[in-house]
Amino acid sequence: MGDSRPELIRDIAGLRDRLAVARKAGSPIGFVPTMGALHAGHGALMDAAKRDCNFIAASIFVNPIQFNNKEDYEKYGRNLPADLDFCAAHQVDVVFAPGPEEMYSTEQDAFVEVLNVSNGLCGEFRPGHFRGVATVVTKLFNIVQPDISYFGEKDAQQLAVIRRMVQALNMNTQITGVPTVREPDGLALSSRNQRLTPEERAYAPILFQALDAARLKALGGCQSATEVRAAGLDFLSKEPRIRLEYFEIVDAEDMQPVTHISARICIAAAVWLGSVRLIDNIAVQPLIVSPGR
Ligand code: PAF
C-alpha cells in the first residue's frame, strides 16, 4: 500500500490543470466523490477505482445544499488531516477539497432534478436532498470529467438517481456501484455511526437483521411485498428504541414500490436511533419458480 500523501487541491482551476496533465499522460481517471469522515466503505470505493484506473481523484466536500437539516450539516464529521491519511493508504492521487465558497461562488440558481426515481424513500423524508446531490455531482463531474465514478450501494436510491441522471443527460462517465461494507455484526458502515452512543451502537445491527428477515421471506418464495415488508417490520418492532422512518419494498431499478415481487427488488429502510438517522438496504433477486415445475 502506498502511503505518500495525495496532492491536496482546493480550487477548481488548479484541479482542472492537474487532471489535464494526468489525462495527457494517458491515465484513465477514476473518481470517488465523498463528504469526508472516511471509513472502510469509502476505502472499498477507492480500491475498486484503483483496480480499474491508474489515476484516482477523490473529492471531500460536505455539500450544504443536500442537507435539509441544519444540525445534520453542522454535525457532519470533518477531519481533513485524517481523511488525507486515509486517502494515502488507498493510493488516491489527488484530493479535491474545496470550501463552500469555491463550489458555490455565485448564487446557485441552476439545479439538476431527477424525477421519478427521486420520489419516495429518502426523497419523501428529505425534501430537496436528491436535487442537492444531483446538482453537486453534476458540478463535480463537469470539473473532474472522470472516466469512471464510484458510488456505494449502501445509498441505493442515490446510486439509482445518479445512474438515471447520467443516462438521461448523456453524461460522459461510467458509474460503478460498490457493495456495502458492513461491521461483523451487520451494521453498514456510515459516517453517521460515529455519532451513535455506545447504547445505540449496541442495538443498531437490528436494522440489518430486519432487512435480512425480509430478504429471507422473499427468498423463501413469498411474492407479496406486504408480507415481505411485514416480516422485516416484525423483526424491527423487537427494539422499541428504534423510530421507523420507512421500510419499503421497491423495484431495484427505478426504486418505486412494488406489490407483487417478480423481479429484482431492493428492501430499503431508514430509522432513527436517538438523534442519528441510519439508512440501509438489501437487494434481492427472487427465485421465481413457474407453476407446474
Ligand atoms: O454519498 C455522498 O457522500 C454524497 O451524497 C456525495 C455523492 C459525495 C454528494 O455530495
Atom 9 of ligand 1, nearest CA residue: 133
Q: Is pLDDT of 1 > 70?
A: no
* Burial degree of 95 (CB within 10 A; 0-12, 13-18, 19+): buried
Reported as a single tens digit per residue, the pLDDT across 55-76 is 999 999 999 999 999 998 999 9
- Residue 66 Cα: closest atom of ligand 1: 10
Question: HSE of 270 in the Cβ direction (CA atoms, 13 Å)?
Answer: 16
Q: Are 279 and 129 in contact (CB under 8 A)?
A: no
Reported as a single tens digit per residue, the pLDDT across 165-199 is 999 999 999 999 999 999 999 999 999 999 999 99
For residue 234, how far is its CA from the centre of ligand 1 (angstroms)?
32
3-state secondary structure 28-74: CEEEEEECCCCCHHHHHHHHHHHHHCCEEEEEECCCHHHCCCHHHHH
Residue 272: pLDDT band (50, 70, 90) is very high
Does 58 sit in the ligand 1 pocket, CB within 6 Å?
no
Q: Is pLDDT of 293 > 90?
A: no
Reported as a single tens digit per residue, the pLDDT across 203-228 is 999 999 999 999 999 999 999 999 99
pTM of the model: 0.96
Q: Residue 287: what pLDDT?
A: 80
In the chain, the amino acid numbered 197 is: T
Residue 3: pLDDT band (50, 70, 90) is low
Atom 2 of ligand 1, nearest CA residue: 34
Atom 5 of ligand 1, nearest CA residue: 133
Reported as a single tens digit per residue, the pLDDT across 108-134 is 999 999 999 999 999 999 999 999 999
How far apart CA 4 and CA 52 sit, in angstroms, is 20
Q: Strands (DSSP E) along 61-118, which ranges?
A: 94-96
- Known catalytic membership, residue 90: no
